Amino acid sequence: MRKSTSTNAFNEKRISDSCGMVRTLQIVGGRWKPAILYKLNQGTKRYSELKNSIEGISERMLVAQLRELEEDKIIERIVYAEVPPRVEYRLTELGKTMGPMLDAMSDWGDMHWEKTSTPI
């Protein structure tokens, strides 16, 4: 966490306000968001389906990433008043417009895997 008044925060805001690519990467970037978006691009998923289909993600991280995507209006959370409670996630209309971009990014990564990957 950093102060919203710091030079770093100011510079980040300035570049994200003036560059669409930076803003896009802020929304979809990170370790887990691409996997979440990939799964939701296939259709509506229950929380447990997402959790079980993304190997290695913790519950805390999944919840945090889902909240950020919801805050950015990329996904929506649907809560059903049932016992036990049922929660589903799906892409919003705005989120669905990301499909071609996400597919292109995935295709690029697959095509250039060996050229760009470094061993961990």
Query: With b meaning 16 or more CB within 10 Å and e meaning fewer, what string describes 34-72?
Result: ebbbbebbeeebebeebeeebeebeeeebeebbebbeeb
- What pLDDT, on the 0 to 100 scale, is given for residue 9? 73
pLDDT per residue rounded down to tens, the chain (120 residues)? 567 777 877 777 777 777 888 889 889 988 999 999 999 999 999 999 999 999 999 999 999 999 999 999 999 999 999 888 899 999 999 999 999 998 998 898 889 888 887 655
Domains of the chain in sequence order:
32-107 (1.10.10.10)
The per-residue pLDDT for 2 is 61
